[in-house]
Amino acid sequence: MSTLARLRRWIGKHLVLGLGLLVLVYTFVPIAVVVLMSFNNNSKSKNVYKFQDFTWNNWLHPFKPGGMKDSVILSIEIALLATLVATILGTLAAFALSRHKFVGRRAANLIIFLPMASPEIVMGSSLLALFVSRGFGGQLGFVTILIAHVMFCLSFVIVTVKARLSGLDDNLEQAAMDLYANEVQTFWRVTFPLVLPGIIGAALLSFSLSFDDFIITNLNAGQEVTFPMFVYGANQRGVPMQVNVIGTAMFVIAIAIVLGNEIFRRRQEKALAA
Amino acid sequence: MTSTAGIAPANPHDTAAPAPRGRKLTGYWLILPAALWLGVFFVIPFYSLVSSSLFDPNGSVLTGYDMTWHFANYFDAINDYKAQLWRSIWYAGIATLACLVIGYVLAYAIAFKAGRWKNLMLVLVIAPFFTSFLLRTLSWKLILADDGWVVGFAQTIHLTNLLNFIGLTGTDDRLLATPFAVIAGLTYNFLPFMVLPLYASLEKIDVRLIEASSDLYASPIRGFFKVTFPLSLPGVVAGTLLTFIPAAGDYINATLLGNTNTKMVGNVIQSLFTTQGDYAAAGALSVTLMAIIVGLVLVYVRTSGTEDLV
């Protein structure tokens, strides 16, 4: 076979994979920009979003811009609480949907699917209309943001945990019962540890969705300012480069947790296969 | 843990004894809290939105609104903002098509070509979600900046002229602050919503069917369009919906990457609610957007013939 023909075959075999990898690279370009801009010294011109000079200062003083620290703390508080509530309620619902038969399951599945397929602006304005019509228009703030975040995180938690549950081999639970474990023991010793990676994944997803949400939050926040709202507001007068420090840090932490969770899951699978 | 192979078949029906009475209700108790939350804070708010869209438009946040079944709100809202409504559908449509093409390549590569890197590539697909959506959108300001190499390259290959010709950019050779930039931002931001459902349905395809088509002398391209693509249709439908719907309601890309002539319906709804306090018009516009989307989805799902999405 000539070199040219071999080259052509090699390209034919790897073309799609190469193009796919190219698409992945494309999705990471903006993240690279966020990391790059976290080292940017924009003191020359605040209004231009452009790399001007290298500096460590943004990382040394991440909370220098006024109001940013409070917005980050608020976003973390809300994300933690929303994640906790959504993960608990969502996990219970996922067990109900995949382990129990009951009337209205189809309707429940539909209502869980709909929030993922509705535009955020419509969900946000609906919630605002509800709060205002019930006389809570003047009390928008922490609680209303939290309510909204739990609402849109729930569907994602249910879907993620359900996927993990449906992939489970129920022979393991049967085996535990055959070995005289009672239901409670079976659940906590067998079922729960097996579902745990799914629950952790769902919690992580919730946290990111909540921390990142702008459209729904902006409508229901009242006077409170979350981190995305801070960025959006700062855009008009020039974004402080420290926001990219927060963005980079969040990314690194999340990736570390994802990898840790994946390693945990693999070990568990290996242990089961042994 | 030891092998379960010898134990499980021994008496698999042992545990399937008739459940005590209370057990039948367990399912309801487990789902109740989540169902209540979604019912009260997702379903009921739609009702509030529809009723606020029929308020007397002369009310204000301070004096309160009267419910007057004022259907004229809808005509006014559509009349005043038809440009933004149309633009939202149009931008979201182009972005969805672009996502389909780009996303299909990636999903196909992961499903059939990635081998043992499959899981890692899937994690990488969702990894961008872990940086803020707003920050990633802001990044495009730098990437598409006037003196950046993307604009330079686009000028060299006369892409800017082509884009100007089809009306997506202006005559000044810029990419930023044009409809093109908004659509590029939407495409970028919603791509993972396209890739994941596409991957899920490509992964289910029996590879032997594709091999059979090539055994029957179909060229790879013919085999793709006659076998692979039709079998992946459920993923195509789910992916296009999950991309189009959030894109049509988005206004962050239009605000950060566009100009005053690229405002989408989300921009209008947001400012009617928050800065102008015109709840009646905002409600009417929001319901209209939802109705247009539901209408498009129904037509689309019917013509593509996949009705069991949920």
Q: Where are the domains of chain B?
A: 84-304
Q: Which residues of B touch A17 (CB under 8 A)?
A: 109, 113-114
pLDDT of amino acid B65: 65
For chain A, how many structural domains are there in total? 1
Q: How far apart are CA A103 and CA B5, in angstroms?
A: 35
Helix axes B265-274, A120-133, angle to 10 degrees: 20
- pLDDT of B48-70, one tens digit each? 999 888 877 666 655 566 667 77
* Phi, psi dihedrals of residue B250, rounded to the nearest 5°: -75, 145
Q: Is residue A46 part of a domain?
A: no
Which element (helix H / strand E) includes B68?
none
Q: How far apart are CA B122 and CA B107, in angstroms?
A: 9
Q: How far apart are CA B261 and CA A126, in angstroms?
A: 27
B55 SS3 class:
strand
Nearest to A39 by CA among A52, A58, A61: A58
The phi-psi region of residue B69 (left if phi > 0; otherwise alpha if psi is between -120 and 50; otherwise beta) is left
Any CB–CB contact under 8 A between B100 and chain A? no
pLDDT of amino acid B218: 83
Question: Smallest CA–CA separation between B90 and chain A, in Å?
Answer: 16
pLDDT of amino acid B20: 46
Q: Domain B84-304: which CATH class? A: mainly alpha
Closest CA in chain A for residue B136? A30
**Which amino acid is present at A142?**
F
Q: How far apart are CA B113 and CA A16, in angstroms?
A: 8
Question: Mutate which of A24, A42, A121, A169 to test chain B, going by most B C-beta atoms within 10 A?
Answer: A121
Residue A17 is encoded by which pair of tokens? 């994979």
Asked if A177 contacts A185 with a C-beta cutoff of 8 angstroms, the reply is no
Residue spans of chain A under pLDDT 50 = none
Closest CA in chain A for residue B289? A122
What is the CATH number for A256? 1.10.3720.10
CB contact under 8 A, A23 and B106: yes
- pLDDT of B127-184, one tens digit each? 898 888 999 999 998 899 888 888 888 888 888 888 888 888 887 878 888 999 999 9
CB contact under 8 A, B139 and A111: no
Residues 6+ apart with CB under 8 A from B265: A121, B81, B84, B85, B87, B88, B248, B249, B251, B285, B289
- pLDDT of A10-31, one tens digit each? 887 788 899 999 999 999 999 9
- pLDDT of B15-45, one tens digit each? 444 444 456 788 889 999 999 999 999 999 9
Q: Is residue A9 part of a domain?
A: no
Any CB–CB contact under 8 A between A80 and chain B? no
CB contact under 8 A, B34 and A115: no
Q: How far apart are CA B6 and CA A179, in angstroms?
A: 12
- Give the sign of the dihedral formed by CA A7, CA B214, CA B114, CA B130: positive
Residues 6+ apart with CB under 8 A from B54: B67, B68, B69, B70, B71, B73, B280, B283, B284
CB contact under 8 A, B188 and A27: yes
Provide the 10 A C-beta neighbour count for residue A67.
Answer: 13
Average pLDDT over residues B273-290: 90
- pLDDT of A49-65, one tens digit each? 778 888 898 899 889 88
Alpha-helical regions (H) of chain B: 26-38, 44-52, 72-108, 118-126, 133-143, 149-156, 159-165, 179-203, 207-215, 220-223, 229-231, 233-249, 252-257, 265-274, 279-304
Q: Is residue A34 part of a domain?
A: no
Any CB–CB contact under 8 A between B275 and chain A? no
- pLDDT of B87-125, one tens digit each? 999 999 999 999 999 999 999 999 998 888 888 899 899
- pLDDT of B229-260, one tens digit each? 999 998 999 999 999 999 999 999 999 999 88
CB contact under 8 A, B33 and A89: yes
* Of residues B123, B142, B248, nearest to A33 (C-beta): B142
pLDDT of amino acid A228: 95
Q: How far is CA B264 from the centre of its chain?
A: 16
Question: Smallest CA–CA separation between B165 and chain A, in Å?
Answer: 26
A108, burial (CB in 10 Å: exposed 0-12, middle 13-18, buried 19+): buried
Q: Is residue A21 part of a domain?
A: no
Q: How far is CA B194 from the centre of its chain?
A: 8
Which structural domain range is residue A104 located in?
64-273
Q: Is residue A59 part of a domain?
A: no
Any CB–CB contact under 8 A between A81 and chain B? no
Any CB–CB contact under 8 A between A15 and chain B? no
Residue A43 is encoded by which pair of tokens? 């003191």
* Phi, psi dihedrals of residue A21, rounded to the nearest 5°: -65, -35
